Structures are given as structure tokens and as C-alpha cells.
């Protein structure tokens, strides 16, 4: 694959998206199309293997069978999780699932936010894991008929500390994100575009202490057997005026908006780390007219990172290139790259 723009084209079902899936699976441990790794494995095969070398010289390899755990290696060393690999292969995906940032529940937006915080605030991951552990143990207690009060107080105290650290990191990142997003989004929609505002909600009342809210909401938590407030309930609200932006935007406008969100995140990563993200753009022409297609593509190319773009018709992307960059093209037919 080339170091700049890689254009992958072919008929529907030819296997174009599988190339992007493989890159994402290697970088993050999951497909962006399915939570089941088995769907990525070729029919009739019992395992898959993916290998890549980065420009920095890192070697990453993954072997995953249908019935056994994965084997992940970074520079010949076995990895227990994807933490180190994810930092060396920072991926931004723009595909049909990206619309979940607008039409899906808080989980998609929270995952989007945490990706950025994870790469910029290196202490965030430990605090995030700490908060998850507290919530999991607290939920176990809530499912008991008579929870041990001393244990509940201990987990409440631990959760409040971790939650504050997670919220501080998220809030700090979000404060940087807002002005960068407005600049990117404005460059794509122009002065006549619909104004959009983003709001960060931390998962509990802004004016009250989490410890007091956990105590006050204990009966409700016991009723549902789970913790109803906390950092695991955080969200980003996307509005146009006083209403959700999705209620006013066409499908094409939504794609421009989610593209702006993804590009902004990649730009903040580059600013903080000094390296560019790898962008995986599946079916760029879908939902976009030629003008918006060209704007998004030009902006992605200007970032000077490695870019993978799939399409059915090669001309649907090439016609949008105002100043043809360094580009590699690949035709996929029946799962095989033919040129």
C-alpha cells in the first residue's frame, strides 16, 4: 500500500471493505462492521492472519482462529491487549456506522470521545479502567438482596475518585475539540451551512457531587440492579439551535458533519502526538454530491497522512481530485487485488 492516498475500487461485494476491516482489526482488535471476528475470516478457513509494518519500523502481527484466543505481537513480543498497538496504529474510520454518532445512543459518542482522550491523555486509560471496575463491583452488590453497606461505601468512594479523574480528562479534551471542530466544519459547509453546537454531558448533574447523588439514588439503583449515574453515562449532544441536529440535516449533511467530527479528532491527535492518523473511508461517494465529496477528500489529503478510500467506480473519486496527489490504485475482484 502507498504512503498517501490509496484508492480501492471494485463492484459491490468484491471485498473492498474487507481490506479496511483487516486494517481496523489489526489496529483495534475488532471489525467496524461486526462484533464477531468470525465474520472476517474467509469462508472455509479456521483462522485469519494479518501482518503490517509501520513507517516507524514497528511490526504488528495478529492470528485469530474461530475457536481460540487471538495471538497479537508487536515487534515480536506477545501482547495481552491492544493498548500499545492502538497507539502505534491510530485509526479513524468513516463508514456507514459513523452515522451512529448522530442517530445512535450515547455509547457510540462516548467511545468516540474516549478514543481521543486515550491518545492525548495517557493517564486516562488507567482511570477509565478503574471506574469500570468500581461500577462492575457496585453493580454486583446492587443485585444482592441485602448489600453490605461498608462495601457499598468503599466502592462509592473509589468510584467518585475515578469518575472525577475521567470527567476531568474528558472535559479538558472536549474544550480543545470544540474550536477545532468549528473550524473544520465551517470549512466544509461554508457560511450558509446549518450551525451546529456540541455539548458534553458528564453523566451526572453538573452542580451536584457524585457521592451525594449515589446515596440519594440508591433505591433506584437497587430497583434496576445497576448504577444509573456516573462516567459510564456520559454523552455528547449534537444540536442545531435547540433541537437535535439529526432532525434537521439531510443524509448528505449528516455525512459532512460526521466527517468533520472524525477529521477534527485526527487533527487533534496529530497536534498532540506529532503523527498522523490512518484514515479508512468506506464508500466515500455514498450520500455525497460531487462538491461535498471533493471538499472532504481535499481536506483528508491535506492532512498528509495515509488514506484508504473505497468506491465502486474509480472515476467517482478521481473526478473530485483537484490537484492529483501521490496515489496508489487497487482493483478488487472476488476478494483478490488484481492491480
pLDDT of res. 255: 94
Tell me the C-alpha to C-alpha distance, in Å, between residue 122 and each of 22, 89, 240, 307.
26, 16, 33, 25
Closest residue by Cα to residue 301 from 272, 327, 271, 265: 327
Q: Tens digit of pLDDT per residue, the chain (339 long)?
A: 777 899 999 888 878 888 898 888 888 887 776 656 555 666 667 778 888 888 888 899 998 877 777 889 898 888 888 888 888 888 999 988 899 999 999 999 999 999 999 988 888 999 999 999 999 999 999 999 888 999 999 999 999 999 999 999 999 999 999 999 999 999 999 888 889 999 999 999 988 999 999 999 999 999 999 999 999 999 999 999 889 999 999 999 999 999 999 999 999 999 988 888 999 999 888 888 989 999 999 999 999 889 999 999 988 888 888 776 788 888 888 777 876
Q: Checking phi first, is residue 203 left (phi over 0); if not, alpha (psi -120 to 50) or beta?
A: left
What's the rounded Cα separation, in Å, for the pair 73 and 180? 35
Determine phi and psi for 129, rounding to 5 degrees: -65, -40
pLDDT of res. 58: 85
- Domains contained in the chain, CATH given: 1-47+83-90+275-339 (3.40.50.300), 99-274 (1.20.1050.90)
pTM for the structure as a whole: 0.89
pLDDT of res. 39: 56
What's the rounded Cα separation, in Å, for the pair 69 and 56? 28
User: 47 has which bridge partners?
Assistant: 65
pLDDT of res. 41: 64
pLDDT of res. 256: 94
Residue linked to cell 490512518? 278
Please measure the distance between the N-terminal and C-terminal CA atoms of the chain and give it in whole angstroms: 11
Q: Strand, helix or coil at 256?
A: helix
Contacts of 4 (CB under 8 A, 6+ apart): 301, 304, 306, 307, 325, 326, 327, 328
Q: Checking phi first, is residue 12 left (phi over 0); if not, alpha (psi -120 to 50) or beta?
A: beta
pLDDT of res. 175: 96
pLDDT of res. 96: 87
What's the rounded Cα separation, in Å, for the pair 233 and 228? 8
pLDDT of res. 182: 95
Determine phi and psi for 178, rounding to 5 degrees: -55, -55
What's the rounded Cα separation, in Å, for the pair 329 and 309? 10
Amino acid at each position: 500500500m502507498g504512503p498517501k492516498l490509496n484508492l480501492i475500487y471494485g463492484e459491490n461485494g468484491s471485498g473492498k471493505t474487507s481490506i479496511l476491516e483487516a486494517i481496523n482489526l489489526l489496529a483495534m482488535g475488532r471489525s467496524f462492521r461486526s462484533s464477531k471476528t468470525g465474520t472476517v475470516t474467509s469462508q472455509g478457513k479456521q483462522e485469519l492472519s494479518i501482518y503490517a509494518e509501520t513507517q516507524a519500523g514497528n511490526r504488528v502481527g495478529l492470528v485469530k482462529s474461530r475457536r481460540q484466543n487471538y495471538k497479537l505481537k508487536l515487534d515480536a513480543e506477545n501482547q495481552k491487549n491492544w493498548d500499545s498497538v492502538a497507539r502505534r496504529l491510530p485509526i479513524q474510520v468513516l463508514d456507514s456506522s459513523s452515522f451512529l454518532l448522530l442517530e445512535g445512543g450515547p455509547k457510540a459518542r462516548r467511545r468516540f470521545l474516549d478514543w481521543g482522550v486515550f491518545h492525548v491523555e495517557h493517564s486516562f486509560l488507567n482511570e477509565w479502567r478503574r471506574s469500570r471496575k468500581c461500577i462492575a463491583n457496585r453493580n454486583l452488590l446492587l443485585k444482592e438482596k441485602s448489600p453490605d453497606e461498608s462495601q457499598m461505601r468503599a466502592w462509592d468512594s473509589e468510584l467518585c475518585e475515578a469518575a472525577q479523574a475521567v470527567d476531568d480528562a474528558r472535559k479538558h479534551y472536549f474544550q480543545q475539540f470544540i474550536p477545532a471542530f468549528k473550524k473544520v466544519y465551517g470549512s466544509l459547509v461554508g457560511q450558509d451551512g446549518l450551525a451546529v453546537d456540541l455539548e458534553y454531558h458528564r453523566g451526572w448533574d453538573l452542580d451536584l457531587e457524585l457521592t451525594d447523588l449515589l446515596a440519594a439514588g440508591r433505591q433506584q439503583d437497587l430497583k434496576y440492579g445497576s448504577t444509573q449515574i456516573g462516567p459510564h453515562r456520559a454523552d455528547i449532544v449534537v444540536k442545531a439551535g435547540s433541537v437535535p441536529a439529526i432532525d434537521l440535516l439531510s443524509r448528505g449533511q449528516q455525512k459532512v458533519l460526521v466527517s468533520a467530527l472524525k477529521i477534527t479528532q485526527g487533527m487533534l491527535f496529530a497536534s498532540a502526538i506529532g503523527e498522523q492518523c490512518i484514515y479508512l473511508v468506506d464508500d466515500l461517494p455514498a450520500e455525497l454530491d460531487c462538491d461535498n465529496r471533493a471538499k472532504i477528500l481535499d481536506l483528508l489529503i491535506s492532512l498528509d497522512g495515509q488514506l484508504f478510500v473505497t468506491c465502486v467506480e474509480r472515476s467517482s473519486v478521481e473526478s473530485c481530485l483537484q490537484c492529483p496527489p501521490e496515489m496508489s490504485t487497487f482493483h478488487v475482484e472476488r476478494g483478490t487485488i488484481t492491480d
